[in-house]
Amino acid sequence: AQSVTQPDIHITVSEGASLELRCNYSYGATPYLFWYVQSPGQGLQLLLKYFSGDTLVQGIKGFEAEFKRSQSSFNLRKPSVHWSDAAEYFCAVGGGGSYIPTFGRGTSLIVHP
């Protein structure tokens, strides 16, 4: 069975600083990987996804993520954080076919001015 771990419950960064949110997955084959963002009072919005090919994936809002098979990781990065990036971030792993994505518990991003 697939699973995903987001080791950090909360992350605090200063506005303008770089950001990396960690995601580790467990899946027996090539995973399908996703990052979502949930702003307060909103639904989950897809930031980016990885299925195959280039392991560095670009998403919306200036985010990117890198798939590292050897580390079973799919960390989300942004070079310069804006106050509006404060939100909950969810990583998800699926396997295609009948395997619907499994979501992590989320990481809450706090941005200090």
User: Which of 12, 18, 42, 84 forms a contact with another protein (CB under 8 A)?
Assistant: 42
Which part of the chain contacts another protein (CB under 8 A), choosing from 21-29, 59-67, 71-79, 101-109? 101-109
Q: Which residue's CB is nearer to another protein, number 75 or number 107?
A: 107
Q: Could you say whether residue 113 binds another protein (CB under 8 A)?
A: no
CB 54 within 8 A of CB 72: no
CA distance 9 to 13: 14
Q: Could you say whether residue 90 binds another protein (CB under 8 A)?
A: yes
For the chain, how many residues are written? 113
Q: Coil, strand, or helix at residue 85?
A: helix
The 8-class DSSP code of residue 96 comes to: B
Binding site for another protein (CB under 8 A): 32, 34, 36, 42-46, 49, 51, 90, 92, 94, 96-101, 103, 105-106
